[in-house]
Amino acid sequence: MTEPSAPKQHSLVVEDFHAEVAGKEILRGVNLTLKSGELTALMGPNGSGKSTLAYALMGHPKYKVTRGRALLDGQDLLALSVDKRARAGLFLGFQYPQEISGLSLSKFLWTSYMQSHTAETADTAAYDRELQTHLGFLGMDSALLKRSLNEGFSGGEKKRVEVLQMATLHPIFAILDEPDSGLDIDAVRAVGETVAKLHRPDAGILLITHYQRILKYVKPDRVHVMVDGVIARSGGRELAEELEAKGYDFVRPAQATA
């Protein structure tokens, strides 16, 4: 009997990463390594640079990288256009998803799926089965598929759609920018549990959040705390619980020696 092959291992390495917005430096030397099979949480107060890191890695034109590098499986991510970064396996779930009138959610998801398939390799039946499974995980009504992307959706529905996109695309590394913000308790549980179910041994997830509550469901392998544009402290899940109890000020003295 043939032994099942081990899942392929991937890495996203960020080194001495500096970035600015409108001439103002936000990131001041971020060092971060993500590995497939790991779920990593990035926490920090407002304005610490968490979303800036996400957008800069994805290639948003407003976020200018001034120093450092980002390597996806050894490939220079910063040398790639946004679409090529996505095709290389990087995904960003937005904190504030945009509405697109006239483009149905169903069409959007299918078009995204076909970006990595051809007419010969696409499996419509498997795609439909998986889509229905993920809708069930997220507690989403399939009627949403017929509506324009995010148009008239509640905040919770928009966040669920971001996770649904991740499920459809099977990225190597997914960055989820505050998927729990603005959600009630039930929605946080649905999103958190779905992210945990979708986590694969051959892929990694970076979950950006302010609060410990979603981490009850996703149970991160590593927790990093960003303060003033750098990673100020790193640890396990217990670090998130300590932040919940003490707030972010207690990590600031450690920043200079982290």
pLDDT in tens, 92-112: 999 889 999 999 999 999 998
For 59-72, letters b (16+ CB in 10 Å) and e give bbeebebeebebeb
Q: Is 74 helix (H, G, I), strand (E, B) or coil?
A: coil
Residue 227 lies in a domain: yes
The pTM is what?
0.90
pLDDT at 118 (0 to 100): 82
Percent of the chain surpassing pLDDT 70:
95
Listed ranges 74-83, 118-127, 147-156; the one with the highest mean pLDDT: 74-83
Domain region containing 199: 11-99+173-257
pLDDT at 30 (0 to 100): 97
pLDDT in tens, 125-140: 999 999 999 999 888 8
Q: What is the mean pLDDT of the chain?
A: 91
Residue 55 lies in a domain: yes
Residue 198 lies in a domain: yes
Residue 233 lies in a domain: yes
Residue 120 lies in a domain: no
CATH of the domain at 73: 3.40.50.300
Above 60 in pLDDT, residue 239? yes
Q: Tell the burial category of 19 from Cβ atoms under 10 Å away from its Cβ (0-12, 13-18, 19+).
A: buried
**Phi and psi of 84, rounded to 5°?**
-75, -30
pLDDT classification of 256: cutoffs 50, 70, 90: very low
Q: How many domains does the chain have?
A: 1
Q: 163 near 198, Cβ under 8 Å?
A: yes
Q: Which residue type sits at 5?
A: S
**Phi and psi of 155, rounded to 5°?**
-60, -40
pLDDT in tens, 182-223: 888 888 998 999 899 889 999 999 999 988 889 999 999 999
Residue 1 lies in a domain: no
Residue 157 lies in a domain: no
Residue 47 lies in a domain: yes
Lowest-confidence region among 64-78, 181-195, 244-258: 244-258
CA distance 165 to 150: 12
CA distance 58 to 78: 9
Under DSSP, the state recorded for 7 is P
